[in-house]
Amino acid sequence: MSSQRATSLTIETPEGVEFSFELASPVTRSLAWMVDVAAIGVLTKAAGKACELLGHMSQDWATAIAVILYFAVSIGYGIALEWRWHGQTLGKRVMGLRVVDAQGLRLQLSQVVLRNLLRLVDMLPLVYLVGGVASFCSRNCQRLGDLAAGTIVARERSAHAPNLEQMAPAKYNSLLAWPHLAARLRSLANPQSVSIAVRAVSRRDGYEPLARIELFRELAEYFQSLVEFPEAAREGLTDEQYVRSVLRVIYGGRPG
Amino acid sequence: MIIDLPRFVAAERVYWDELDAALAKLEAEPERRMPVEEIERLHYLYERCSSDLSRLDTFATEPHLRTFLESLVSRAYSVIHETRAPGRIRWKSAALAFPRAFRRHLGAFRLAVAITLLGCAFGWFALHVDPRNKAILMPFPGLQEPPSERVAQEESARQDRLKGVKASFAAQLMTHNTQVTILALALGVTFGVGTLILLFYNGVILGAVATDYIVGGQGVFLAGWLLPHGSIEIPAILLGGQAGFILAGALIGWGDRTPRVVRLRAVAADLVAIVSGAGVLLIWAGTVEAFVSQYHQPVIPYGLKIAFGLCELVVLSFFLGWVGRE
């Protein structure tokens, strides 16, 4: 098992395959914690209201139940949700985070309990100062509870296979009429730029219209600068259509 | 570019979907016994998807598919390579896990007892040297007055001073003591230093209170007051200390060459068993402290209270020492 500081944790399986977890930054974790604090606040408030109703029968027992419920919610919230939702609390769900075993194995109940009980130290002296310093210093962004429990907090991964057809539809592609230029484009395309193009295509509907036109213009110019296809290949294609055609070429499409 | 991605996805997707469905089923029912054919199929699908992920390594330009396959392979890896039993709660085995975990780490418990006794000795010494240290050692208003005065007040009381607040008093005791016990465990992460300080401080207070009452000739009152709840509460906090020292031991790893992560993994379940057990004991101790310990002679004779406390201690010792022996 190897790791890169504060970015990802890579695990190599006995079969020789590597997979990695993208580590959550302390800032994202803080935001998730704020959501959880709000959720705990709502739950304890609701419990307090319910106990007020009980107070009509016995004030003593109502106070006792309120004290125990407050304690149980503040200690048990993280344990119950992380166990029930496989490593997620409400805050982690909202922020797209998940607690996972640091060796990639199944998260155990003992790990969930331990990391949540050690929160008591991580929260010292106030607002997670100890935990925050520990996670800034730790190679895998682990607070003390995570170190003791052997867990990390990772970003959620996509659980769905990407739709390649949506990105680069398998229809007639004018660029493939020039196979030698297509082969040259495949060999020259920079992986990072292609990755940006994939993201641009998959998120196209989220962009402002003018920003989208500008983005695809720049991408089209970049790909044209690598290999200049004849005018006939580009005829009638918008910049976005050109980028999609390029992706189809790069992903191994055949002449239509 | 080595592979034709759309063709690759089209050919392999059926296996990914099958693995995804098999994993979803396993994740929903982690304790289900799988037939041999199903295990073989799962292993085949895992190896096939792992191989797909390796092939995709040559295709660095497609991040989404790689992320998807990594997610699938990591889920399958966590199921196939996990050797620990699924963490389902079984109350009977959880009850047995507590004394077993306690006995596995007796050294840590002895250390917790020794540190507390050392604190007691310090409390006795400090009060013996100068009785004015009482104000510093026992900063609680109820303990500042001379023991004989307090005993006289308690024994002559005609009214129940806890009337109408017994349950809430018990709840406060339970939650406070449970918090102290959890803290004793959690401070183990400071390589045991925090746990040591916490236990020593508890010992100092206990030693100073005991000295104050014994020197003041109120030893029987003290035993009758403390034993009913203390015979459970004090061991429970010592158990928290034991858990803290176990954690510290796994972090330090004296004479143990296994990696730290493996050492911590080995004790995690025991830590949780011990602290959970201590939590249950503290519910009992809190109830007894509010409903029994605060009532003195003539309401409850001291002999009865002392006998009750000793019985609890015997039962607890039997439970921790013998229950679940194999």
| The predicted structure's pLDDT at residue A256 | 40
Please tell me the distance from the alpha carbon of residue A111 to that of residue A11, in angstroms, as a whole number: 19
| The predicted structure's pLDDT at residue B85 | 67
**Residue A68 sits at the chain B interface (C-beta within 8 Å):** yes
**Residue B163 sits at the chain A interface (C-beta within 8 Å):** no
| B279 vs A183, more confident | B279
Counting residues of chain A whose pLDDT is more than 70, the rounded percentage is 90
Look up the ipTM and state it: 0.85
Where residue A252 falls among pLDDT bands split at 50, 70, 90? low
Please tell me the distance from the alpha carbon of residue B252 to that of residue B257, in angstroms, as a whole number: 11
pLDDT at A1 over 50: no
| The predicted structure's pLDDT at residue A144 | 92
pLDDT at A169 over 80: no
Task: List the single residue in B with minimal CA-CA distance to A58.
Answer: B164
Q: Which residues of A touch B276 (CB under 8 A)?
A: 113
Task: List the single residue in B with minimal CA-CA distance to A164.
Answer: B6
What is the rounded average pLDDT for all residues in chain A? 85
| The predicted structure's pLDDT at residue A255 | 46
Which residues sit opposite A151 in a β-bridge? Answer: A101
For residues A199-219, average pLDDT: 86
Please tell me the distance from the alpha carbon of residue A29 to that of residue A154, in angstroms, as a whole number: 10
**Residue A183 sits at the chain B interface (C-beta within 8 Å):** no
- Strand A97-101 to strand A18-22: parallel, antiparallel, or no bridges (unpaired)? unpaired
**Residue A17 sits at the chain B interface (C-beta within 8 Å):** yes
Please tell me the distance from the alpha carbon of residue B234 to that of residue B226, in angstroms, as a whole number: 10
Q: B67–A158: do the CB atoms touch at under 8 Å?
A: yes
pLDDT at A78 over 80: yes
Q: Which residues of A touch B272 (CB under 8 A)?
A: 109-110, 113-114
| B9 vs A225, more confident | A225
Domain-wise residue ranges, chain A: 2-155, 164-250
For residues A73-99, average pLDDT: 93
| The predicted structure's pLDDT at residue B201 | 95
> Best residue in B17, B189, B190, B275 to probe A by mutation, most A CBs within 10 Å?
B189
Burial label, B41 (beta-carbon count in 10 A; 0-12, 13-18, 19+): middle
**Residue B272 sits at the chain A interface (C-beta within 8 Å):** yes
Name the minimum distance, in Å, from the CA of B13 to any CA of chain A: 8
| The predicted structure's pLDDT at residue B123 | 94
Mark the ranges of chain B whose per-residue pLDDT is less than 70.
1-4, 6, 57-63, 85-90
Q: B61–A165: do the CB atoms touch at under 8 Å?
A: no
Phi and psi based region of residue B192 (left: phi greater than 0; alpha: psi -120 to 50; beta: remaining)? left
> Best residue in B70, B161, B260 to probe A by mutation, most A CBs within 10 Å?
B70
* A3-17, A44-58, B26-40: range with highest mean pLDDT: A44-58
pLDDT at A202 over 80: no
Q: What is the dihedral of CA A39, A40, A44, A50, to 10 degrees?
A: 40
Q: Which residues of B touch A71 (CB under 8 A)?
A: 175, 178-179
Phi and psi based region of residue B255 (left: phi greater than 0; alpha: psi -120 to 50; beta: remaining)? left
Q: What is the 3-state secondary structure (H, E, C) of chain B?
A: CCCCHHHHHHHHHHHHHHHHHHHHHHHHCCCCCCCHHHHHHHHHHHHHHHHHHHHHCCCCCCHHHHHHHHHHHHHHHHHHCCCCCCCCCCHHHHHHHHHHHHHHCHHHHHHHHHHHHHHHHHHHHHHHHCHHHHHHHCCCHHHCCCHHHHHHHHHHCCCCCCCCCHHHHHHHHHHHHHHHHHHHHHHHHHCCHHHHHHHHHHHHHHHHHHHHHHHCCCHHHHHHHHHHHHHHHHHHHHHHHHHHHHHHHHHHCCCCCCCHHHHHHHHHHHHHHHHHHHHHHHHHHHHHHHHHHCCCCCCCCHHHHHHHHHHHHHHHHHHHHHCCCC
Where residue A248 falls among pLDDT bands split at 50, 70, 90? confident
Q: Which residues of A touch B55 (CB under 8 A)?
A: none
Tell me if B274 sits within 8 A of B243, measured CB to CB. yes
Domain-wise residue ranges, chain B: 5-80, 91-322
| The predicted structure's pLDDT at residue A160 | 62
Restricting to A residues 210-249, those with a Cβ less than 8 Å away from any Cβ of B are: none
**Residue A162 sits at the chain B interface (C-beta within 8 Å):** yes
